[in-house]
Structure 1
């Protein structure tokens, strides 16, 4: 019996599905039958339970018909069959008209909403920021632009990428968070199509930023995007400034030509490699860079001060109580840390580090200088360095080159990597010539295996640099971070077993993995994409800062350094920061802050204090460090 019911049920279902397959007419018929099956019995029940209903059966049936017609909007007219038929026909025509009208309106609204969701409408803004491209840098750039526009009443950022508009909005909302007064607009489409670029209204934008994708051919696409932007802005007398980034130095010239004379092109790999090496030589330097490049703390500004015209630059160092002077801009040329006797011209601008552009106010600071507290001995001499490089990627040769530039005789770089023949070939190509003072040695091994690290005397190195391998085609861009985190975990175990802290500098791709990295407090972590995003955001607000950053992060130019505090003030003395500034001036440097050794493990600044007031007094120890702008 159970099998027979199953067969009957299957046949009934099959017959029902077959009727539905005949099209809309069958579906309408089934719906009508279903409605009548429900409405007619329910109407009869209502009539038969009504105490005021007619007594005769024909009259009650008429009442049931009227109730059914009113429910189904069929008119419910009574009388001759022709009259009833015409009433039903008119009702069906009205129903067809209304349903068709509703369907057309619904379809039009759906198409409009779909078009809006696809991000195909033109942005009508003035002075907004246009961001072209999508990568991990976009979250840093947008976040910094939101912070920079916090005091603006009408600010907008338009992002164009070949991704789904809704997906971009959700990703930005998750990683950037509240945007305050800034309106965030996403548009979808290829950035290499001039017709699509017009959706963001680049002609009326204040600045255009071009980001490289996290893929091997990203630089070629950046150049093509810049060419498309030039085509979209053809004929415009005053095009907006363009800030772009490429990963490989080979594409910088082409990108610069495509961006035009007013464009700024940054090299992400070169800048990242320089900052990693600088942090390896002086642990804690990445914290200073982070403080200076984001909009949450003190930043670089260009200010003019007529009262200093004709005075030597050294006087300007002690002429701002709450700002730090680090250089001059003469015409379009920045002069970071010029000689103290350099005369300030009438048209020169001072390069200062300040909380905001309106907080750089002049004032005499000489009264806080205590010459008796200044150190008079020679600077701490540099010595040969031993560097352990765990891992290998496309930026590793650039790091080796940076280490070679300032290597002292007897310096050593040991590379531990397991990348096969390609890695061996790249390491051999990175071999430095004899007589440069640097020896490069490759030790094949897997840095994610405990036995590999145990064979190394990691505590004998002055610094340990951990980098991830380049992701293979098709892998997520943050895939290298997975192996890097494993290596850091093993290094942490070695630290705990020995009780000695390792000077580790880590390169990560995704900023979210910083919280997962098993590192000590205040350790140096370089987020490759984030640094370039910070630089682009800074330059987008003041294009004249591009030359300042170019000099600041150049290979052989003036940069940010960490020096022993004992080179400037006597250890154990309590004196104002103005004394440190005066002592640094005597050594041809610009002091901009310090790092307290006692607070190095304390969040959130880990002892780093950038641009303290000149009047701030503290007791200096031999383990403290002074942050200066100078040369090696």
Structure 2
């Protein structure tokens, strides 16, 4: 096949004499015209798509940029040119305008050279060419030496600043608190330690985590605020790396706290961190070690790695225990929060040599500004709410609830009780309960087990959840607790609106696991609470709701009634760690308060202790509770359950304080019944 001919276009143009002519264009469309001799050629117009020619200024800038890209030599050259362009003319003007300048042209040129040389530190010697050259050489050597020295010093300072910024320098502190890792508990732990150090001297908290130092400092500064006398020091590094551990000086610390990882499957990293810590500080470490794991299967390994004197907490079990107790005791989470943070009243273990020989009931009444709740025997055995007739022996210590340890003193006279208003009402037998669980996560099985250990036989738990089978089979009995499963998504209106709130004694709302919802479990929890709130409004029946959350900031926006119970696992464990870090004896105390079969915190009707409708002192309530083998530690006013911030909960009131006891008020007690 022949190659196709290229079409030619015919263009019409004007000649010099104004007559129309023809020209033929070739394949490229470029006009061909025979030029007459002596007639100047008309400039051809550039094609419409021809590239624009760069302006001279743009070309100069482009050439200059390419020159600078050549490296240090080009930079030095341009710097020299720029200096000479300024210095030489200025020196010439100074010499030529100086009345004392020499008259000869060469003499003035030599003066200009001396001025240039002194300005640029090039010697400026005048005379024979060899002398001038040597002076310039010496000046260049001096310039090179000084510039190199300055560069080395600048580089060293810059590297040091970068190392400090990266958080690789060593903390030289004694008696400080070391926090290893970064998790939801970090802000709570640091804030509580700052609060505990508020009435003491200067303190320090050294945080080691595999995060940017500046980001850690900024986040803690935002979350904690003013730290007072406590300095927050952040260092970058993996807590499982012994070399990185040296940066926070754990061997000279007073307390070392190992925070839990974000997921249960990462507890092996906690064990590795504890092994690295033991390798760094040795077996004779003076610091108290406190670690937290999520999965109970790693607790023994973590305990062995941390050493015999260390304390290892299991966050999932603690959270499940508290959720189970709060589901049956509305307001209990508020009591625990009051006892765990350093802002109000908390537990102390104090010496009590003057109490030896007295009964526990007598000791209760002589501490008018604090509340005695137990005894630590000389052999270390802890007993909460012991029998009222048990004796305090030499070497025993008292467990008290007080605003501060300096308020745990004996009063000159014991508090007086009004026996005329004390009642001896028989405590009714526990009745079966019907509870509702909305949602499911990896802690739900523990919650069900702990519920079965507290409820009366015949109780029923309805579970509404979607996804994998949360309970197998659909109906299961746990030590008298019947579990009934109903499949449904608690974030859908159709699921929640089908519930009858009137039949439930308590409702538990759980969020999904992080990996199951993309890392924001509280979002689904808030949706479920919003639907529950709407159901309460339309049905006219309110429910005692306890909600498990991961972020305490979501508690303020939760659509529930004031005073509702929340168990924020991150904040709860952070508060526990802070309390135990100050007194390791509190580990066994909280373990007993949350464990089944031991002493528990309960809210009981005030009518079980004093006649309602009467005025009586809190000492009277303490005396009445002591007759039952219980320790009264506070009360909750039902008419203030909607009033923030305590929602009617008062822990460790003054025993001499007299108040009106209403029919719906509760007394907070530590009991073994």
- After TM superposition, the structure 1 stretch with the greater mean CA deviation from structure 2, 121-130 or 170-179, is 121-130
Greater gyration radius: 2
SS in 2 for 1:368: coil
- After TM superposition, the structure 1 stretch with the greater mean CA deviation from structure 2, 187-196 or 312-321, is 187-196
Matched, 1:443 2:486: yes
CA apart distance, 1:400: 0.8
CA apart distance, 1:521: 2.3
CA–CA distance in structure 2, aligned partners of residues 500 and 85 of structure 1: 102
CA apart distance, 1:519: 3.0
CA–CA distance in structure 2, aligned partners of residues 161 and 368 of structure 1: 54
Aligned to 1:274: 321
Aligned to 2:618: 577
SS in 1 for 2:168: coil
Aligned to 2:545: 504
Q: Is the 8 A contact 2:357 2:393 kept in 1?
A: yes
Q: Deviations over 1:340-398 (max 9, x none)?
A: 12222222211111111121112376653112212232225433222222221111111
Aligned to 2:205: 157
Q: Deviations over 1:129-186 (max 9, x none)?
A: 2222221112211211111112222322222222222222222212122221122222
CA apart distance, 1:45: 6.9
Task: Give ranges in structure 2 of 5+ residues lacking alignment.
Answer: 1-45
CA–CA distance in structure 1, aligned partners of residues 495 and 90 of structure 2: 82
CA–CA distance in structure 2, aligned partners of residues 512 and 55 of structure 1: 85
SS in 2 for 1:622: coil
Aligned to 1:433: 477
CA–CA distance in structure 1, aligned partners of residues 562 and 442 of structure 2: 28
Counterpart pick for 1:297 among 334, 344, 364: 344
Aligned to 1:260: 307
Counterpart pick for 2:566 among 511, 525, 550: 525
CA apart distance, 1:578: 0.7
SS in 2 for 1:213: coil
**CA 1:65/1:474 → structure 2, altered by over 3 Å: closer, same or farther?**
farther
**CA 1:367/1:37 → structure 2, altered by over 3 Å: closer, same or farther?**
closer
Aligned to 2:332: 285
Matched, 1:397 2:445: yes
Q: Is the 8 A contact 1:320 1:364 kept in 2?
A: no
Q: Deviations over 1:24-56 (max 9, x none)?
A: 112222232334445555666777888998899
SS in 2 for 1:341: coil
CA RMSD of aligned residues (A): 2.8
Q: Is the 8 A contact 1:506 1:525 kept in 2?
A: yes
Q: Is the 8 A contact 2:194 2:227 kept in 1?
A: yes
Aligned to 1:472: 515
CA–CA distance in structure 2, aligned partners of residues 358 and 53 of structure 1: 87
Q: Is the 8 A contact 2:338 2:345 kept in 1?
A: yes
Q: Is the 8 A contact 1:141 1:533 kept in 2?
A: yes
Counterpart pick for 1:215 among 249, 260, 263: 263
CA–CA distance in structure 2, aligned partners of residues 631 and 431 of structure 1: 31
Aligned to 1:22: 70
Relative contact order higher in (CA < 8 Å, ≥ 6 apart): 1
SS in 2 for 1:358: helix
Q: Deviations over 1:220-250 (max 9, x none)?
A: 11111122222223353x5432211111111
CA–CA distance in structure 2, aligned partners of residues 51 and 446 of structure 1: 99
CA apart distance, 1:619: 0.3
Q: Is the 8 A contact 1:220 1:251 kept in 2?
A: yes
Matched, 1:142 2:190: yes
CA apart distance, 1:118: 2.6
Matched, 1:455 2:468: no
CA apart distance, 1:101: 1.1
CA apart distance, 1:266: 0.9
Aligned to 1:179: 227
CA apart distance, 1:273: 0.9
Matched, 1:482 2:482: no
Q: Deviations over 1:426-473 (max 9, x none)?
A: 422796437x43222233333223333222224542222222111118
**CA 1:91/1:315 → structure 2, altered by over 3 Å: closer, same or farther?**
same
Q: Is the 8 A contact 2:263 2:294 kept in 1?
A: no
Q: Deviations over 1:104-127 (max 9, x none)?
A: 001111111222223333332222
CA–CA distance in structure 1, aligned partners of residues 239 and 381 of structure 2: 33
Please report the TM-score for the alignment, with normalisation by the length of structure 1.
0.91
CA–CA distance in structure 2, aligned partners of residues 74 and 230 of structure 1: 62
Aligned to 1:224: 272
Aligned to 1:387: 435
CA–CA distance in structure 2, aligned partners of residues 526 and 49 of structure 1: 87
**CA 1:427/1:76 → structure 2, altered by over 3 Å: closer, same or farther?**
farther
CA apart distance, 1:526: 1.3
- After TM superposition, the structure 1 stretch with the greater mean CA deviation from structure 2, 546-555 or 200-209, is 200-209
**CA 1:107/1:460 → structure 2, altered by over 3 Å: closer, same or farther?**
same
CA–CA distance in structure 2, aligned partners of residues 76 and 387 of structure 1: 97
CA–CA distance in structure 1, aligned partners of residues 90 and 97 of structure 2: 11
**CA 1:41/1:326 → structure 2, altered by over 3 Å: closer, same or farther?**
same
- After TM superposition, the structure 1 stretch with the greater mean CA deviation from structure 2, 510-519 or 143-152, is 510-519
Aligned to 1:250: 297
Matched, 1:169 2:187: no
**CA 1:510/1:51 → structure 2, altered by over 3 Å: closer, same or farther?**
farther
SS in 2 for 1:318: helix
CA–CA distance in structure 2, aligned partners of residues 480 and 57 of structure 1: 89
CA–CA distance in structure 1, aligned partners of residues 329 and 557 of structure 2: 23
| Aligned ranges 1:337-352 → 2 under 5 Å | 337-352=385-400
SS in 2 for 1:290: helix
CA apart distance, 1:15: 3.5
Matched, 1:534 2:575: yes
CA–CA distance in structure 2, aligned partners of residues 277 and 606 of structure 1: 21
Q: Is the 8 A contact 2:474 2:485 kept in 1?
A: no
Q: Is the 8 A contact 1:321 1:364 kept in 2?
A: no
Q: Is the 8 A contact 1:366 1:578 kept in 2?
A: no
CA–CA distance in structure 1, aligned partners of residues 596 and 91 of structure 2: 90
CA apart distance, 1:499: 5.5
Counterpart pick for 2:161 among 91, 103, 113: 113
SS in 2 for 1:388: strand
Q: Is the 8 A contact 1:400 1:430 kept in 2?
A: no
CA apart distance, 1:309: 2.1
CA–CA distance in structure 1, aligned partners of residues 153 and 517 of structure 2: 43
Q: Is the 8 A contact 1:313 1:344 kept in 2?
A: yes
Task: Give ranges in structure 1 of 5+ residues lacking alignment.
Answer: none
CA–CA distance in structure 2, aligned partners of residues 76 and 430 of structure 1: 100
CA–CA distance in structure 1, aligned partners of residues 94 and 499 of structure 2: 91
Q: Deviations over 1:54-94 (max 9, x none)?
A: 89987776666555545444445555555554444443333
